[in-house]
A and B are shown apart, each in its own frame.
Chain A
């Protein structure tokens, strides 16, 4: 294993110029004032959405269970504040389609009533109790995938996991939520990692941080020793925070195509997930709020805000002082992999790391005239694919050729489209082909 003083990295990738982090990385996290209404979307986790346990007109306290997990790959939802369930209806979701949400009218008291007690002595607590807490508290991956965390904590029989990696790379431009979290609440992050290590029975714990966050690294190092956690310095390179690239950079292991990180003995968790886990265990509060970067060149006072789940984007922009001009794009997440939204009414979810407003002049659809085979996408691809030829095959309808050339290994990081001088719709094509291939696969299964 490499020494932790080395700056580690992976092959390929890009370095976005003007990454926009300086807009928000120097200002402390601000608490947001209480709103009148919150819209808690049910389908916040990967897998099955939870089933509501409250009905219209019910009085709820802060932290009270709103919806219970439906099956193993699902996560509980809790109330962000006290008030009345004023409606359960379809609203505009984060993926562009209407989705079911619980509308809470706040009573302004913010009265807390946690369904479970803190476990201050987690070092000696039963592992099953800790695991149960992760399930109860509705912890999901807060880096973007929102995969229920407890699923990752139960490796199947025969798979041994020896390394836990905390993802503090935050390689997405503009986002600084994880940066501020690590700098202002380092102990939560480190302790959350230690709790995860205890659950998984792993002593080999790394926090991977890109070296553009030296102040956060210094804050983490203050606590790292006490909890037996190591800090891994990462080169500033997108997509450094991708699971496979992170594992490769820190441990030198290669996650084989078509397998899970677990198969290479590694588990990766986002730092925000660890902080939420620490809250759930040591304070006994479920996951109902997160730090969100509200940023963009058109935002008056960009910054990081502790937002309750269910805060509409419009209110988040209001906390950030409004706008200077009408934005051309609203993105949930970072600019490289985030989702463009239809409306400012879309609420914050557990995986919303950023709310990014993009000026109109940058928000038009490019026209493409033809691939000139410059090969920049090939240099940029962290998965060693050849995006330009894949895309040409897809445009010709040759999904079989795309599959043969490993299109399923693409993680849609967008490095290729970022560098493309012709602004080809490379990622759109990849998504199209993946959907088409899945459809074909399902059709052949049914036969």
Chain B
């Protein structure tokens, strides 16, 4: 049978047919989009760090990211991998920005390249590249640098607000008036100070940690200080200080479906629960939980590091266990450990447990009924 307008109909020849397995549709998500989403969520905190610590913060972030991408490209070149494919997924860039978030603004320029090599080579590529690393690369680099170069990694400078108004002396000895007094009225080249967590640790070391010493931390966790911490007005790493920016990043990540919201919420909740309990019972051992929430890398770690897809468990239950473990370890290290900060150690430790957690917290398949007892009657 021939149609009247048969000649005008263009028919397929089948020359270009591709044979492949179903499904023939894709949601269109890709690694690059996921990593781009993480970078987008980091933008508020990047802006906040530039505002708090000056333009050098922006330079350090950019410089560290470039170092990481270069390290990735160099490794791929040496290992005969496709360089463009490996750097175009933006994962090295995300690692770089996250690593920069863990550095102080004063960091010497030889540190970021070292960090990039630690993060990309030692923590990621030796395991086989993206997806195969058991530990979060940025955190491995941070901890490695902290142990190897403690002085360079803990040289804190005051943030914007601290320079302008008087800060409690235990945290900042060089207030505007003090500087003039010390240096015969001349301004100084630079000013260093301690982070509130560092101050907490030093208080713990010098004071009697009797459980009744209620006024140990009064200068640290007064409402006035908490309100200053809340806007990021304290010494610290580039990316950890500004709580509103980090929480905005959290909402961006949740809306883009890039993280499991349970991880940060349970992580932070556990830390606040433990420190709150300790604070209520022995006020001389721990400042109040809001101090712990807003200080150190808790928000940064809980929102951006513990939620790293590659190094966190797959199932919802597994994520809950993982986050809870992170919270317990962080609290224990902060309150009783030797380091002032415990977030990175806690996350790395829990990273190591992820394969086990995945095993324990598997899912029960739809319609699966576990065998209560083995039936050997017919054998």
Residues of A contacting B129 with CB < 8 Å? Answer: 369-370
- Among B3, B18, B86, B367, contact of A363 (Cβ-Cβ < 8 Å): B18
Residues of B contacting A324 with CB < 8 Å? Answer: 10
Per-residue A-contact encoding for B113-131, CB less than 8 Å = 1, 0 else: 0000000000000001111
Residues of A contacting B314 with CB < 8 Å? Answer: 373, 375, 378, 386, 388-389
A369 and B131 contact, CB distance less than 8 A: yes
Residues of A contacting B1 with CB < 8 Å? Answer: 33-36, 108
A421 and B315 contact, CB distance less than 8 A: no
CB-nearest residue of chain B relative to A365? B20
Expressed in whole angstroms, the minimum distance between the Cβ of B266 and any Cβ of chain A is 16
CB-nearest residue of chain A relative to B89? A369
Expressed in whole angstroms, the minimum distance between the Cβ of B194 and any Cβ of chain A is 38
Knowing A342-B19, A369-B131, the reply to whether A322 touches B366 (Cβ < 8 A) is: no
A372 and B22 contact, CB distance less than 8 A: no
Q: Does A327 contact B (CB under 8 A)?
A: yes
A245-280 with Cβ < 8 A to chain B: 248, 254-257, 259
Q: Which of B15, B310, B365 has the most CB of A within 10 A?
A: B365
Q: Does A17 contact B (CB under 8 A)?
A: yes
Per-residue B-contact encoding for A9-21, CB less than 8 Å = 1, 0 else: 0011010110000
B130 and A372 contact, CB distance less than 8 A: yes
CA distance A49 to B306 in the complex (A): 56
Per-residue A-contact encoding for B160-176, CB less than 8 Å = 1, 0 else: 00000000000000000
Q: Does B309 contact A (CB under 8 A)?
A: yes
Interface stretch, picked from B26-34, B65-73, B103-111, B235-243, is: B26-34
Q: Does A358 contact B (CB under 8 A)?
A: yes
Q: Does A244 contact B (CB under 8 A)?
A: yes
- Among A326, A369, A375, A423, contact of B16 (Cβ-Cβ < 8 Å): A326
B1-24 with Cβ < 8 A to chain A: 1, 3, 6, 9-24
Knowing A372-B309, A373-B314, A409-B368, the reply to whether A317 touches B12 (Cβ < 8 A) is: yes
A322 and B10 contact, CB distance less than 8 A: yes
CB-nearest residue of chain B relative to A15? B27
CA distance A330 to B22 in the complex (A): 12
B310 and A373 contact, CB distance less than 8 A: yes
Knowing A318-B3, A326-B12, A419-B27, the reply to whether A256 touches B367 (Cβ < 8 A) is: yes
Interface stretch, picked from A117-125, A160-168, A331-339, A433-441, is: A331-339
Knowing A328-B17, A414-B23, A421-B34, the reply to whether A409 touches B12 (Cβ < 8 A) is: no
Residues of B contacting A73 with CB < 8 Å? Answer: none
Residues of B contacting A414 with CB < 8 Å? Answer: 22-23
CB-nearest residue of chain A relative to B359? A389
Q: Interface size on A (CB < 8 Å)?
A: 85
Q: Does B159 contact A (CB under 8 A)?
A: no
CB-nearest residue of chain B relative to A387? B314
A344 and B12 contact, CB distance less than 8 A: yes
CA distance A365 to B20 in the complex (A): 7
A326 and B15 contact, CB distance less than 8 A: yes
CB-nearest residue of chain B relative to A32? B1
Q: Does A428 contact B (CB under 8 A)?
A: yes
A326 and B34 contact, CB distance less than 8 A: no
Knowing A337-B23, A370-B129, A374-B309, the reply to whether A405 touches B362 (Cβ < 8 A) is: yes
Residues of A contacting B358 with CB < 8 Å? Answer: 389
- Among A372, A417, A418, contact of B31 (Cβ-Cβ < 8 Å): A372
A406 and B368 contact, CB distance less than 8 A: yes
Q: Which of B18, B29, B85, B369 has the most CB of A within 10 A?
A: B18
CB-nearest residue of chain B relative to A340? B19
Q: Does A356 contact B (CB under 8 A)?
A: yes
Residues of A contacting B367 with CB < 8 Å? Answer: 244, 254-257, 259, 383, 409
A370 and B128 contact, CB distance less than 8 A: yes
CB-nearest residue of chain A relative to B369? A256
Per-residue B-contact encoding for A86-121, CB less than 8 Å = 1, 0 else: 000000000010000000000010000000000000
Q: Does B25 contact A (CB under 8 A)?
A: yes
Residues of B contacting A418 with CB < 8 Å? Answer: 23, 25-27
Knowing A318-B11, A327-B16, A370-B129, the reply to whether A338 touches B22 (Cβ < 8 A) is: yes
CA distance A37 to B219 in the complex (A): 92
Residues of A contacting B89 with CB < 8 Å? Answer: 369
B26 and A366 contact, CB distance less than 8 A: yes
Q: Interface size on B (CB < 8 Å)?
A: 52
- Among A344, A374, A406, contact of B34 (Cβ-Cβ < 8 Å): A374
Q: Does B218 contact A (CB under 8 A)?
A: no
CB-nearest residue of chain A relative to B314? A375
Knowing A255-B367, A314-B12, the reply to whether A386 touches B315 (Cβ < 8 A) is: yes
Q: Does A391 contact B (CB under 8 A)?
A: no
A385 and B315 contact, CB distance less than 8 A: no
Q: Does A403 contact B (CB under 8 A)?
A: no
Q: Does A211 contact B (CB under 8 A)?
A: no
A9-51 with Cβ < 8 A to chain B: 11-12, 14, 16-17, 33-36
Q: Does B260 contact A (CB under 8 A)?
A: yes
Q: Does B364 contact A (CB under 8 A)?
A: yes
CA distance A142 to B98 in the complex (A): 54
B178-236 with Cβ < 8 A to chain A: none
CA distance A427 to B20 in the complex (A): 11
CB-nearest residue of chain B relative to A416? B23
- Among B9, B27, B132, B365, contact of A406 (Cβ-Cβ < 8 Å): B365
B290-320 with Cβ < 8 A to chain A: 309-315
CA distance A272 to B262 in the complex (A): 44
B22 and A336 contact, CB distance less than 8 A: yes
CA distance A257 to B371 in the complex (A): 12
Q: Does A323 contact B (CB under 8 A)?
A: yes
Q: Which of B3, B24, B26, B364 has the most CB of A within 10 A?
A: B24
Q: Does B56 contact A (CB under 8 A)?
A: no
CA distance A342 to B14 in the complex (A): 8
A257 and B27 contact, CB distance less than 8 A: no
A381-434 with Cβ < 8 A to chain B: 382-386, 388-389, 405-406, 409, 412, 414, 417-423, 425, 427-428, 431
Residues of B contacting A363 with CB < 8 Å? Answer: 16, 18, 20, 24
Can you list 24 A-B contacts with CB-CB less than 8 angstroms, sorted by A residue number? Answer: A11-B366, A35-B1, A173-B25, A318-B3, A323-B10, A327-B16, A331-B24, A336-B23, A340-B19, A340-B21, A342-B17, A363-B20, A363-B24, A369-B131, A373-B131, A384-B364, A386-B315, A389-B314, A409-B366, A409-B368, A414-B22, A417-B26, A421-B33, A427-B23
Closest 9 CB pairs of A and B: A370-B131, A414-B23, A322-B9, A421-B29, A335-B24, A374-B309, A257-B367, A406-B365, A335-B25
**Known pairs A369-B129, A372-B131, A427-B22 / 6 extra A-B pairs, C-beta < 8 Å:** A14-B27, A314-B12, A318-B11, A362-B24, A363-B16, A412-B22
